[in-house]
Structure 1
Amino acid sequence: MNQSRNSGSRFGRLLSSLSVRVVIALILGLGVGAAVQAWGGQGGASGVETVEALGGVWLNALKITVIPLIFALLVNGVASIADAAQTGRLAMRAMVVFGIMIVVATVYAIAAGVGILSLWPIDPEGGRAVLASLQPDGAAAVGEAVQTDGFRAFLNSLAPSNLVKAAGDDGVLGVVLFALVFGFAVTRLEDRLRAPIATFFEAVAEAMIVMVHWILMAAPFGVFALALGVGLRAGLGAVGVLGHYVSFVSLSQIGIILLTYLIVVVFGRIGLARFAQAVAPAQAVAFSTQSSLASLPAMVEQARVGLGASRAVSGLVLPLAVAVFRITSPVANLAVCLYVAQLYGVPLAPGMLIAGGLTAIAASIAAVGLPGQVSFFLSIGPICLAMGLPLGALPLLLAVEVIPDIFRTVGNVTADLAATRIVQVQEGEELEAAGEAV
């Protein structure tokens, strides 16, 4: 898993500049497609459709990496979490706090996402235009997705009889649960048996990340090709839908940041103004760098000076949080999936929401330490598949991920410091109780 994080750092700078090119490709694609729609005639439309088909090839190349990559990363992620938890009582306490906060964030994400989209839905006309441009036979795709609905189907998906068949049929939830159980089983083996298995899956993850990196290098062309089709069929009306999407995902993450403030005030026993003042410098670094790792020095300093954390707590909890804890991952990823569901007109039954929530929690473990463009598809693709949702809209949404990604990082940094304060309070209570007992 450490090598995976090193790969993420190695590719991070290249992918950062790639984000700018992807946004430019999106704007050009929409503009050229809209121009062809207005003045190009039948011949121009035919040429656009040919280029659009090449964009579909690029999308399929991304999709094929999802299952093996998430399986390998989950096995390594579970092993790293188990190793961290075994390093001592303080680490175990931190992992429990992380786990509880992730579950709360997932429940919040579903409730807030469904609520916001109910009050502020996608513009029907713009949504239909974008849907038609993404997949002209979109009605068939929606019908196929709806067939996965039902609580019985959800239960059956938890334990498929044939793992390979489940992967081939996009039965991601069963694959994810199997990978989690397999990862925990590996941690119970002797060192001589565990080491080669861990090395094998680490190597698989590394190889898949390299493949994804290669595919993402073609992202400007792939996004341009897909946006060309959107512009051709939806015109500039697609811009309104994308703006609505950015606002929706950003609002969802602002909500979890505010909820984190409430959690730390209650369980961290700290005043709101004091906590806000303490986390502000680290949030500023996160906002400018979009990197939790780059924000770590500021977090360590503010945890000690502003939050009263001891060197032992801040020195262990914060690096561990950066390594394995991302509270905004299930929030943002589920927001994307809920948006896709409304865009495609897929009704969200309880079984689909549960499947999405469970997969989002697992994906938050697997995606830690990966660059944003890689983790976008790795995290959101399996959740969409687990909920029976099409993936065709994801490349366009990736192109406007720059703004939501800022809130992802700010939210993660805020939650890391909140968890550190909560662990510090728990440690202080335990020491105080021990002193009274003596």
Structure 2
Amino acid sequence: MTSNPEANGAATNSVTSTQSGFELVAIRLPVVLTFAGLIAGLALGVLFSGVSLPEKALQAVSLVGTLWLRALQMTIIPLVAALLVLGLSQMVQAARAGAAARRFLALVFAVLIAGGMFTAAILPWLLTVIPIPESASGFLAAAPGEAQEVPDILDFLASLIAPNIIAAAAETSMLPLTIFFALFAVAITRLPKEQEDRMLGFFHALANVMLQIIGWVLWLAPIGVLALAFGVGLRSGGGAFAALAHYIFVVSAMGGFTLVLAYGVAWALGGINPARFAVAMLPAQAVAVSTQSSLASLPAMLDSAGRLNLRSTTSEFVLPLAVAIFRATSPAMNMAVALYVAALAGIEVTPALAFAGILVALIISVGSVSLPGSISFVVSIGPIALAMGIPIEPLVLLVAVEMIPDIMRTLANVTMNVAVVSAVDRTET
């Protein structure tokens, strides 16, 4: 390889050390209990849908769900700010590691942009072919929220830069906030080393504090989701279950694009026959499906790279870096969730809104790659929805079924990681 191995190791260690700090928080979130809370809430709602319940009782149940939703929302902006600063500074450090790292980052951005554009173009068409069940409309009233306005093109362009970043945060204007903190992160990397370390240490501590709080909130997810789902069941009846199944299929299908694209990358850029690549990837894919963790799949990915005769110097540098800062499915699947909710709400997604969503999805994906799936769902998709003027209330219920689409996320991410290694390795010959 032409890059400096010592610099490579330093960059990789810097990235993965930050990742391990995040993994310490809320690593055993009650995912199964949250899913059970969703099912139980919907079932109880369906059961009592024909019964005249006291208004006070309904208000009390709604209040429980609303308070849990607000507790989740209050952590989004500070956590996103911290993760963006850390994630983008890590990416800048990686770019300094050498030519191989820069080629890797170029592929990362190409894949992320392709995924976001594919979803923005294909998902509206898919929803016309396989329409959202009418019963899904009940999810929009899962919790009270203000009506979102869809800006025109001039308003959108004006909103890219906020004259007052504090006011933008108060108004949850995610697009200007995302741009500001992206610039802030790059500026930090230009500071003297001592000042850079001090600033990154602050944001690392801020991220872990916010993750601790959101971890506590998500431990209450079974109760909050049950309360919100009860209202959905009352409004939608048994059709709510069909709506969830439809949602899971559509979002997973967008992740399937990234999975197929991985075979194309390995073939076109890595020079590896798709059949050979598929056989070599089977062990790593099995681990990915069973663990739903790219980090846990790292040893299996290294083994698959060896089966493909990729040089160990390339795979041992690129794969840990990919696990730390690359989640290939993020823009495609996160945009899919936001666009699905937009379709539920009857919001027309203009090209300007689609561009805003892809831009935020691209930047946010850098900061959320090291988080557990349920936290990543809230942190990644909430800002996209806010930037596009899409209600975020349904997200708190959809997070309960994220454990199913997350299988596709991990499967495609792991496959793409090895495909990118093959492309980088080929350019080093």
Partner of residue 139, structure 2: 130
Amino acid at match of 2:23: S
TM-score, normalised by the number of residues in structure 1: 0.91
Partner of residue 64, structure 1: 74
Q: Is the 8 A contact 2:178 2:360 kept in 1?
A: yes
Q: Is the 8 A contact 2:115 2:257 kept in 1?
A: no
Alpha-carbon spacing, 1:317–1:362, altered in 2? closer, same or farther (3 Å): same
Q: Is the 8 A contact 1:33 1:48 kept in 2?
A: no
Residues in 2 aligned to 1:185 and 1:368: alpha-carbon distance in whole angstroms: 22
1:42 and 2:50 correspond: no
Partner of residue 432, structure 1: none
Partner of residue 374, structure 1: 375
Residues in 2 aligned to 1:72 and 1:156: alpha-carbon distance in whole angstroms: 25
Query: Could you say what secondary structure the match of 2:119 adopts?
Result: helix
Residues in 1 aligned to 2:27 and 2:211: alpha-carbon distance in whole angstroms: 15
1:269 and 2:298 correspond: no
Deviations 1:54-94, CA, capped at 9 Å, x for gaps? 11111011111111111111111111111111122222221
Query: Could you say what secondary structure the match of 2:47 adopts?
Result: helix
Partner of residue 87, structure 1: 97
Amino acid at match of 1:318: L
Q: Is the 8 A contact 2:62 2:143 kept in 1?
A: no
RMSD: 1.6
Q: What is the percentage of aligned positions where both structures have the same residue?
A: 40
Shift of 1:3: 6.0
Shift of 1:148: 3.1
Partner of residue 431, structure 1: none
1:247 and 2:249 correspond: yes
Amino acid at match of 1:266: A
Shift of 1:2: 5.2
Shift of 1:118: 2.5
Alpha-carbon spacing, 1:258–1:275, altered in 2? closer, same or farther (3 Å): same
Shift of 1:264: 2.2
Residues in 2 aligned to 1:416 and 1:177: alpha-carbon distance in whole angstroms: 27
Which structure carries more helix by proportion?
Answer: 1
Partner of residue 314, structure 1: 315
Amino acid at match of 1:298: A
Partner of residue 23, structure 2: 9
Residues in 1 aligned to 2:253 and 2:304: alpha-carbon distance in whole angstroms: 26
Deviations 1:250-292, CA, capped at 9 Å, x for gaps? 1111122112212321122111101111111101100000000
Partner of residue 354, structure 1: 355
Residues in 2 aligned to 1:120 and 1:150: alpha-carbon distance in whole angstroms: 29
Deviations 1:21-59, CA, capped at 9 Å, x for gaps? 001111111111122222x3232x541332122111110
Alpha-carbon spacing, 1:231–1:4, altered in 2? closer, same or farther (3 Å): farther
Equivalences for residues 260-299 of structure 1 within 5 A: 260-299=262-301
Query: Could you say what secondary structure the match of 1:41 adopts?
Result: coil
Partner of residue 434, structure 1: none
Shift of 1:13: 4.2
Partner of residue 330, structure 1: 331
Shift of 1:235: 1.6
Q: Is the 8 A contact 2:66 2:143 kept in 1?
A: no
Deviations 1:105-144, CA, capped at 9 Å, x for gaps? 2212212222212321212x3133333x4257x8xx4xx3
Picking from 255, 258, 262, the partner of 1:256 is 258
1:119 and 2:120 correspond: no
Deviations 1:279-314, CA, capped at 9 Å, x for gaps? 1110110000000011101111111222x2111101
Structure 2 gaps of 5+ residues are 1-14
Amino acid at match of 1:29: G
Partner of residue 390, structure 1: 391
Partner of residue 427, structure 1: 428
Number of residue pairs matched by the alignment: 415
Partner of residue 149, structure 1: 151
